[in-house]
Each structure stands twice: as C-alpha cells, then as structure tokens.
Amino acid sequence: MAAGFSLFDDLNGTGNGAPVISAVSAGNYNLALSNLSSNAQNLIKKESGRKALVQAVGIAAIGAWARRSFPGTKLGGTKLYFRI
C-alpha cells in the first residue's frame, strides 16, 4: 500500500512535479492531463520511481497469488475472514 501511495504522490506531482489534482479541481483538464503525462515520464526516468514501480508490481503479484491460492479468504480491516 505504501508503494501505491508513493506512486500516487509522484504522479500527482507532490514535491517537484506539476500538480494534477489542483488542475482538475480548477476545471483545467487539459493541463491536468499534460501534468500527469509529464509526471509519469519523470517517474520512469528517476531511479526511485523505477524502484517504486517494481515494488508495486511485486506486491500486486503476491496479492494475485494469494487470491488464487486461498480463494476462501477475504481481507477486511485487520482481520482475516474465512467462508465456511
């Protein structure tokens, strides 16, 4: 989940990129799409961005394996729920 939030921050331009959410909330969708595109390109170019992408893909793969291996298990909050 932390990798997902890191990707969201990078794509939103938090820190050194162009802000996306503020452009959307202002109604300037063309600027928001342009900012999102440039932030995505910057994310791929940076070493930290590539590491965050690899972590997110790894976590998604582990989640897909767990859902396939244990289909009766549902995650809810901090507890595991099992179907009987």
DSSP state of 26: T
Global pTM reads 0.60
Give the chain's domain count: 1
Quick check: 40 and 11 in contact, CB under 8 A?
yes
User: What confidence score (pLDDT) does residue 80 get?
Assistant: 59
Read off the pLDDT of residues 1-49 as tens digits, 9 standing for 90 and up: 566 667 777 778 776 778 888 888 899 899 989 988 888 888 888 888 8
R_g of the chain computed on alpha carbons:
17
Count of Cβ atoms closer than 10 Å to residue 63 Cβ: 11
- Domain hosting 27: range is 2-82
What tens digit of pLDDT does each residue of 54-79 get?
Answer: 888 898 898 888 888 887 776 655 55
